[in-house]
Amino acid sequence: MQLRYDEDFIETAVFCRAHSPPPSGPPAGASPTNSCRPPALQIARFHREREKCYDLRDPDARHAAFFQVHLDWFREWRLEQPLTEVVEEFVLVRGRLTTLAVRKATGRHDEGAELYVNETGERTGLLALRPERLLHRVTVRDFLRHEFMHLHDMLDPAFGYAPALDLPGLNAAQKRLARERYRLLWDITIDGRLAAAGHTPAATREQHMLAFDRGYSFWPEARRGETLDSLWRCPAPRHTDLLALIADPRGLQDAARPAPGGSCPLCEFPTFHWAVAATLAPAMLRRILAAFPAWQPEQGLCSRCLETYEASAALELAAAQ
Amino acid sequence: MSNVFNWQLGREMEYPYEAAYPDQQFAFIFNTNRCIGCQTCTMACKSTWTFSKGQEYMWWNNVETKPYGGYPHHWDVKTLDLLEQANPGGQNWGGKPEDVKAPYGQFNGKTIFEAAKSFIGPEGANRALGYLPTDEEWSAPNRYEDHPVGNEKGVKGQYFQGGELLPEHKTWFFYLARICNHCSYPACLAACPRNAIYKRPEDGIVLIDQERCRGYRKCMEACPYKKTYYRGTTRTTEKCIGCFPRVEGRDQAGGGLPMQTRCMASCIGQIRLQGLIELNPDGTWKEARHNPLYYLIHVAKVALPLYPQFGTEPNGYYIPPRWVSRPYLRQMFGPGVDDAIEKYSAPDRELLAVLQLFGKDQRICHRYEIKEGPKVFETEVRGKKFVMYNDTIIGYAKDGTKIIETTVEEPLHVRDAKHANSI
């Protein structure tokens, strides 16, 4: 496996190392010595080497020279070490990836690992990382392990990962919600496995419990605890098992009648405010059926949709008068 | 370190270089009461100077929503916090306001240059206290746009009672337009290890010599206003150049007369006024009673420097927003805030006339004169009598050319019926 770096990533990383510690200080748990600056003589040498590159007039040669200087110092200051050491722990990642590319993430939400497979079957892992993370050698390892576990699962045939979530019958909003749930469950299984292996997980079981309670608040407490435990302790989770938990956790798709939180058959948005279709006037039913011929009154409709039809009827009446 | 006189602090302070002052100083006033956050200034600057590859994140001019907004994120809070750490509880003002040498009294705390001595790095003491913002902090130039802050907990389904009443709104925000302040004691200049940053002797505009810059980013770390930007494609740092070709009078549109910068000229809210100030040998402002900037800053004292306690003697001044929490404003603009707002809320005859000069012409006004007109209105503003006269104010360029003539009451044009709906 080849390890490649984005030019911007290593340049920012070495500058972070050469400058003051980050303003926010080291994160909790990090040893303060990790973010210490290198000796002044090294910083001076780094700048001297950099300065020479400015004399190169050819833009390509200049960029190449800068890249080499930054890469040399990236290694000299052992900023590469956490990456190379942690990836060694993941045999599958090393064995199955052709390239692991590391790029600069612009913020916390941009960080993460992704897998790309080209038409010839070559697999490339792309890791987006904030360079300042490398200043904290303990926490960066925890972060890298978590992200490499994602790559590991994506590459593991036993996990059975598929990039597109196969969730028929869900609308766009529900699919987004399902993706978020998938992310939550996958993170729980990863951190559970990391904790079992004696590593520090990205989030503790208690932190995951809070998020899980929010995501599955419609389940009874006992069921939530039971499911979280099974995910946290699962040594070999599977993609299909996670899908089963996210697709329709309320069991609404099979519900014969409108259920709280179910999707309105007209607008497809989830609703907790159902209109009673049985009490609708025949004219209103005809109006709705004209727009949705396959709709049946037993399926119900949300009060927002009913309001829309009532408003359009009132407008037509007013126009006629 | 040398001792230099900082009139905004009313005292001498330490600075890495000997004092040296330009013949004239580029300075400007923003009236925050008028800013609507339309970002026209931002785009005027962007489309003129920072539209190229590698400059995408550069906003030499930006407008942020205070109190939460900022570009880079929380730039001011972070520097204030560093100063507080260096001098806990000591960042306060004292003394009495005096003449042009101490108009806001005396600052008893530490400036970023004085506080830097306590931050010893491997290369010795820093020249200015600061920090290098992360990429994340540069990631969104208008974060928290229109986010207000409230001093009372809200009640669901109910508006604040009397929330709109002055002197302070219960829920508030305001727009703070910012460019490089072209400081008299620039921290960027002080920190540059390559001596690549200089103040032009002719107008005090602070520039970075692109041939000398070697991308150390020390200027980014030191500038408390965070107005220098590293460009990845050239690996040098860039900043606002004060539209110097216009200030020199080289823009053809000015007919050879010095012109205000693009951001000033494009402002649709007419919140901006930029000029050139003549200085005394000690760096204080030479008396120019009828220069609009001198009048607003040293006579009417309605325009105040932004975070004067940083110690760079910024040349950007602000008429503070009159609805905003006073402790917040005192922290941001110094102890002159209360008097400034009092004066601005019920302006006297001259102040009202001078305020009409904002945004009226692109050329730089060096002197004004007022022709008295009739009384047109009279009222009371929070117990204070306010009388409005329809005076005419005339502005002149440095060479005496008349460039502005306008009245306090804006002329009302009634469009002819046949063009009623045309533009």
User: Taking CB atoms and an 8 Å cutoff, what residues of chain A touch B217?
Assistant: 15, 19
Lowest mean pLDDT among A160-174, B182-196, B234-248: A160-174
Contact A47 B216 (CB under 8 A): yes
Cα of B161 vs its chain's centroid, Å: 34
pLDDT at A184 over 50: yes
Strands B375-381 and B367-371: unpaired
Give me the percent of chain B exceeding a pLDDT of 70: 98
Dihedral, CA of residue B8, residue B9, residue B14 and residue B18, to nearest 10: 30
Q: Which chain B residue lies closest to A47 (C-alpha atoms)?
A: B216
Q: Which of B220, B244, B227 is nearest to B22 (CA)?
A: B244
pLDDT at A106 over 90: no
- Cβ proximity of B261 and B230 under 8 Å: no
For A129-170, what is each residue's pLDDT tens digit? 999 899 888 899 999 999 999 999 999 999 999 988 877 777
Q: Which chain B residue lies closest to A111 (C-alpha atoms)?
A: B136
Q: Which chain B residue lies closest to A37 (C-alpha atoms)?
A: B122
Q: Report the distance separating Cα A36 and Cα B207, nearest Å.
A: 32
User: Taking CB atoms and an 8 Å cutoff, what residues of chain A touch B215?
Assistant: 50
Helix axes of A221-233 and A205-215: crossing angle, nearest 10 degrees: 130
d(CA A111, nearest CA chain B) in Å: 11
B228 or B118, higher pLDDT: B228
Q: What is the DSSP string of A140-173?
A: HHHHHHHHHHHHHHHH-TTTT--SS---TT--HH
Q: Report the distance separating Cα A153 and Cα B374, nearest Å.
A: 82
Report which secondary-structure segment, H or E, holds B220. helix B218-222
Q: Report the distance separating Cα B245 and Cα B235, nearest Å.
A: 24
pLDDT at A255: 65
Q: Which chain A residue lies closest to B139 (C-alpha atoms)?
A: A106
DSSP at B365: P
For residues A122-127, give the mean pLDDT. 96
User: How long, in residues, is chain A?
Assistant: 321
**Does residue A287 belong to the interface with chain B, where contact is any CB pair within 8 Å?**
no
Q: Which chain B residue lies closest to A133 (C-alpha atoms)?
A: B134
pLDDT at A250: 76
Q: Report the distance separating Cα A160 and Cα A239, nearest Å.
A: 6
d(CA B132, nearest CA chain A) in Å: 8
Give me the percent of chain A exceeding a pLDDT of 90: 65
Task: Count Cβ atoms below 10 Å from residue B99 Cβ, excluding itself.
Answer: 10
Contact B132 A19 (CB under 8 A): yes
pLDDT at B34 over 60: yes
Contact B136 A37 (CB under 8 A): no
For B389-403, what is each residue's pLDDT tens digit? 999 999 999 999 999
Contact B217 A39 (CB under 8 A): no
Contact A20 B217 (CB under 8 A): no
Contact B122 A40 (CB under 8 A): yes
Q: What is the DSSP string of A176-226?
A: HHHHHHHHHHHHHHHHHHHHHTTPPPSS-HHHHHHHHHHHTTTS-HHHHHH
Q: Report the distance separating Cα A23 and Cα A39, nearest Å.
A: 20
**Overall pTM surpassing 0.90 (yes/no):** no
For residues A8-12, give the mean pLDDT. 95
User: What is the second-level CATH architecture of the domain B2-152+164-345?
Assistant: 2-Layer Sandwich (3.30)
In the block, residue with structure tokens 């010599």 = B209
pLDDT at B121: 63
Average pLDDT, chain A: 89
For B73-115, what is each residue's pLDDT tens digit? 999 999 999 999 999 999 999 999 988 899 999 999 999 999 9
How many A-B residue pairs are in contact by the CB < 8 A criterion? 56
- Cβ proximity of A171 and A263 under 8 Å: yes
**Does residue A145 belong to the interface with chain B, where contact is any CB pair within 8 Å?**
no
Contact A106 B121 (CB under 8 A): no
Contact B134 A106 (CB under 8 A): no
Tokens encoding B104? 């806001």
Q: Report the distance separating Cα A170 and Cα B132, nearest Å.
A: 46
- pLDDT band at A78; cut points 50, 70, 90: very high
What is the amino acid identity at position B419? H
Rounded alpha-carbon distances, angstroms, from residue A82 to A87, A89, A126, A139, B258: 8, 11, 16, 10, 57
User: Taking CB atoms and an 8 Å cutoff, what residues of chain B touch A68?
Assistant: none
**Does residue A103 belong to the interface with chain B, where contact is any CB pair within 8 Å?**
no
Report the half-sphere exposure of A191 (CA within 13 A, side-chain side).
19
d(CA A8, nearest CA chain B) in Å: 8
Q: Which of B334, B144, B140, B313 is nearest to B224 (CA)?
A: B313
Q: Which of B136, B116, B403 is nearest to B256 (CA)?
A: B403
In sequence order, what are the residues at sequence separation of 6 or more whose Cβ sits closer than 8 angstroms to the Cβ of residue B219? B187, B188, B189, B191, B192, B197, B208, B228, B237, B239
pLDDT at A261: 79
Helix axes of A221-233 and A172-196: crossing angle, nearest 10 degrees: 60
User: Taking CB atoms and an 8 Å cutoff, what residues of chain A touch B134?
Assistant: 22-23, 130, 132
In sequence order, what are the residues at sequence separation of 6 or more whose Cβ sits closer than 8 angstroms to the Cβ of residue B403? B257, B361, B363, B365, B395, B396, B397
- The residue ranges of every structural domain in chain B are 2-152+164-345
- pLDDT band at B412; cut points 50, 70, 90: confident
For A245-268, what is each residue's pLDDT tens digit? 888 777 776 666 788 878 888 888
Contact B134 A130 (CB under 8 A): yes
DSSP at A130: -
For A272-304, what is each residue's pLDDT tens digit? 899 887 888 999 999 999 999 989 888 889 999
Q: Which of A61, A93, A84 is nearest to A5 (CA)?
A: A84
In sequence order, what are the residues at sequence separation of 6 or more whose Cβ sits closer than 8 angstroms to the Cβ of residue A88? A94
Contact A39 B122 (CB under 8 A): yes
* Peptide bond connecting B347 to the previous residue in cis, omega within 30 degrees of 0: no
Contact B122 A54 (CB under 8 A): no
Q: What is the DSSP string of B285-319?
A: BPP-TTSHHHIIIIIS---EESSGGGSS--SEEEE
* Per-window interface: A 42-71 vs B, CB < 8 A: 43-44, 47, 50-51, 53-54, 66
Strands B402-407 and B392-396: antiparallel
pLDDT at A298: 86
E strand residue ranges, chain A: 2-5, 99-104, 112-117, 123-129, 274-275, 301-302
pLDDT at A20 over 70: no
For residues B283-298, give the mean pLDDT. 96
- pLDDT band at A28; cut points 50, 70, 90: very low
pLDDT at A29: 42
Cross-chain CB nearest to B122 (options A16, A43, A54): A43
Q: Which chain A residue lies closest to B57 (C-alpha atoms)?
A: A106
**Does residue A21 belong to the interface with chain B, where contact is any CB pair within 8 Å?**
no
The angle formed by the CA atoms of residues B80, B85 and B88, to the nearest 5 degrees, is: 100
Q: Report the distance separating Cα B17 and Cα B368, nearest Å.
A: 36
Q: Report the distance separating Cα A88 and Cα B55, nearest Å.
A: 38
User: Taking CB atoms and an 8 Å cutoff, what residues of chain B touch A43?
Assistant: 122-123
Q: Report the distance separating Cα B18 and Cα B286, nearest Å.
A: 20
What is the amino acid identity at position A72? D
For B147-158, what is each residue's pLDDT tens digit? 999 877 878 887
pLDDT at A25 over 50: no
In sequence order, what are the residues at sequence separation of 6 or more whose Cβ sits closer than 8 angstroms to the Cβ of residue A241? none
Tokens encoding A11? 């340049």
Report the half-sphere exposure of A283 (CA within 13 A, side-chain side).
7
Contact B215 A50 (CB under 8 A): yes
Q: Report the distance separating Cα A224 and Cα A237, nearest Å.
A: 17
**Does residue A109 belong to the interface with chain B, where contact is any CB pair within 8 Å?**
no
Q: Report the distance separating Cα B205 and Cα B258, nearest Å.
A: 14
Task: Count Cβ atoms below 10 Å from residue A225 Cβ, excluding itself.
Answer: 14
d(CA A121, nearest CA chain B) in Å: 34
For B334-367, what is each residue's pLDDT tens digit? 999 999 999 999 999 999 999 999 999 999 999 9
The angle formed by the CA atoms of residues B311, B313 and B317, to the nearest 5 degrees, is: 125
- Cβ proximity of B35 and B271 under 8 Å: yes
d(CA A74, nearest CA chain B) in Å: 17
Cα of B302 vs its chain's centroid, Å: 13
B122 or A69, higher pLDDT: A69
Q: Which residues pair with B94 in a beta bridge?
A: B106
Contact A104 B121 (CB under 8 A): no
pLDDT at B152: 79
The helix/strand/coil state of A86 is helix
Q: Which chain B residue lies closest to A7 (C-alpha atoms)?
A: B232
Q: Report the distance separating Cα B408 and Cα B406, nearest Å.
A: 7
Exposed e or buried b per residue across A143-169, where buried means at least 16 C-beta atoms within 10 angstroms of its C-beta: bbbbbbbbbbbbbbeebebeeebeeee
Cross-chain CB nearest to A23 (options B78, B121, B215): B78
Contact A130 B216 (CB under 8 A): no
